[in-house]
């Protein structure tokens, strides 16, 4: 028996016109074509995205910011910040991106095991009242609130494996123990947040977990962090749903990231997330080398769709999805071990 996996996609997502910006519509086309070519697309349940209502965008964003984005787009486009161009259709497309996450959640609650949202613009840098870092509305954060409000899913885990820290997502839930935000990211790096000591405030203390990493980290480092930190924290928290801010810019060939993950690494990370998750909704964030991006999304989806037994099991068999990998998954670099111990120390006084 395989897992039932949905794919949220619409050609409308191509209309967020950013010209030759690294975050452009070719990313989605490259992924979709590759999934077809590799015969994976036919195994995915197609989910048509609905458009989020402006009232729903207010779960996370201020009404004045929502109006501002709408107005800039109605005037024909412009820039939300120097990195973040918008075109005339971007506002509507951004509503459809957030709504795509809502549609995925509807199906997880109904009949699917997991879903991947092949959406743009991305979301995790979008703050309450400010778009930045290629992001307009915070898709994953909006999804978390939607799951809570519409389906009373009380505890939401957000895993952010994009190479950049999701400052917008962290801000949204910094004082909130119902949403656990776990991010591993290059640091110090754009956008500047994500220090190890940023752990949440008030009731939210211990529910923001930041794992800041030096450049060059690869498969063994990420897998070690997932096993040593994320799995125990998630097993303690027991999320009702897991959302992933799935950026693929920590890939070794990404032009922006400076990390060393291989495409197969994302498949392994996905199999680890499946072990503690009830239902998974994964949302595309970054990833700017088209070849690396399409391969990484493929291994991510292939892992979501495959039998749990095939991705777990005794050591040695564990990662046999990828027999040609030839990578040593057991040995993190020394610096990463130290960071993991430090995170454990900081978070050991909080129970979740």
Residues that bind Zn ion (CB under 5 A): 162, 164, 247, 249, 286
Distance CA(253)–CA(3), nearest Å, equals 30
Closer residue to Zn ion, CB minimum distance, 194 or 239? 194
User: Cβ of residue 26: shortest distance to Zn ion, in angstroms?
Assistant: 17
Which listed residue (16, 61, 124, 125) is catalytic?
125
The three-class DSSP label of residue 254 is coil
Rounded least distance, CB 203 to Zn ion, Å:
29
What CA–CA distance (Å, rounded) separates 113 from 306?
11
Distance in Å, CB of 282 to Zn ion, minimum: 15
Cα gap 210→311, rounded to integer Å = 26
Cβ-based nearer residue to Zn ion, 143 or 279: 143
Examine the residue annotation and report whether 300 is marked as an active-site residue of this protein.
no
Which segments of the chain are extended strands (E)?
Answer: 5-8, 45-47, 77-81, 84-87, 114-117, 156-160, 179-186, 208-213, 241-246, 280-284
* Closer residue to Zn ion (CB): 126 or 153: 126
Q: Which is nearer to Zn ion, 113 or 162 (CB)?
A: 162
Least CB distance to Zn ion at residue 249 (A)? 4
* Position closest to Zn ion via CB: 286
Strand partners, 62: none
Contact 26, 294 (CB under 8 A): no
CB of 177 to Zn ion, least distance (A): 26
Give every CB contact of residue 36 below 8 A, 6+ residues apart in sequence. Answer: none
Give the CA-trace dihedral at 124, 129, 134, 137, to 10 degrees: 60
Question: CA–CA separation, 342 vs 336, rounded Å?
Answer: 10
Given the complex with Zn ion, which of 185 and 274 has the nearer CB atom?
Answer: 185
Taking alpha carbons only, the member of 56, 36, 49, 38 closest to residue 6 is 49
Is 225 exposed, middle or buried, given 0-12, 13-18 or 19+ CB atoms closer than 10 A? buried
What is the nearest approach in angstroms of Zn ion to the Cβ of residue 331?
Answer: 26
Which amino acids are annotated catalytic? 125
């Amino acid at each position: 028996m395989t897992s039932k996996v949905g794919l949220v996609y619409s050609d409308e997502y191509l209309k967020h016109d950013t010209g030759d910006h690294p975050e452009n519509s070719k990313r989605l086309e490259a992924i979709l074509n590759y999934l077809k070519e590799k015969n994976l697309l036919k195994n995915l349940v197609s989910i048509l995205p609905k458009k989020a209502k402006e009232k729903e965008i207010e779960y996370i964003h201020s009404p004045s910011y929502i109006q501002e984005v709408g107005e800039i787009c109605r005037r024909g486009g412009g820039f939300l910040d120097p990195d973040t161009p918008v075109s005339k259709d971007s506002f509507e497309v951004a509503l459809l991106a957030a709504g795509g996450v809502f549609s995925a959640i509807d199906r997880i609650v109904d009949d699917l095991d997991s879903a991947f949202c092949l959406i743009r613009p991305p979301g995790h840098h979008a703050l309450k009242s400010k778009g930045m870092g290629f992001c307009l509305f915070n898709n994953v954060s909006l999804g978390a609130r939607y799951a809570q409000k519409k389906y009373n899913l009380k505890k939401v885990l957000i895993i952010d494996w994009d190479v950049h820290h999701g400052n917008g997502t962290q801000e949204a839930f910094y004082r909130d123990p119902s949403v656990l935000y776990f991010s591993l990211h290059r640091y110090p790096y754009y956008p500047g947040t994500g220090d190890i000591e940023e752990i949440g405030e008030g009731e939210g203390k211990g529910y923001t977990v930041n794992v800041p990493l030096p450049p060059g980290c690869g498969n063994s480092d990420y897998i070690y962090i997932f096993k040593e930190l994320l799995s125990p924290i998630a097993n303690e928290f027991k999320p009702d749903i897991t959302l992933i801010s799935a950026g693929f810019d920590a890939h070794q060939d990404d032009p922006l990231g400076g990390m060393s993950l291989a495409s197969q690494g994302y498949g392994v990370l996905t199999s680890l997330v499946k072990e503690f998750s009830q239902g998974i909704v994964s949302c595309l964030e970054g990833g700017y080398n088209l070849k690396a991006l399409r391969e990484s999304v493929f291994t991510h989806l292939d892992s979501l769709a495959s039998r749990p037994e095939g991705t777990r099991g005794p050591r040695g068999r564990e990662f046999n999805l990828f027999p040609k990998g030839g990578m040593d998954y057991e040995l993190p670099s020394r610096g990463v071990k130290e960071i993991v111990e430090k995170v454990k120390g900081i978070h050991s006084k909080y129970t979740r």
